[in-house]
Structure 1
Amino acid sequence: MKLQTTIKPRRDGTVIVRGANGQPFTFAPDSFGDLVCDVDDPALLERLLNSEDFGPIDPADFQAASTLVAPVGTLLDSALDAVGHTPEGSPPGEGEDEPDDEGDENAAPVEGAAELPSAPIEGAAAQAAVRQSRRRT
Structure 2
Amino acid sequence: MNPSARRRARECVVQALYAWQVSQNDIAEVELSFLADQETQGADIAYFRHVLLGVASDVEALDTLMTPYLSRQFQELGQIEKAILRLAMFELSKCDDVPYKVTINEAIELGKTFGADDSHKFINGVLDKAAPIIRKRMQIRSQNGPYQSVC
Q: Structures share a fold, TM > 0.5?
A: no
Greater C-alpha radius of gyration: 1
Q: Provide TM-score, normalisation by structure 1.
A: 0.31
Question: Where is the helix percentage greater, Structure 1 or Structure 2?
Answer: 2
* Structure with larger RCO (C-alpha < 8 A, sep 6+): 2
Question: Where is the strand percentage greater, Structure 1 or Structure 2?
Answer: 1
Q: Provide TM-score, normalisation by structure 2.
A: 0.29
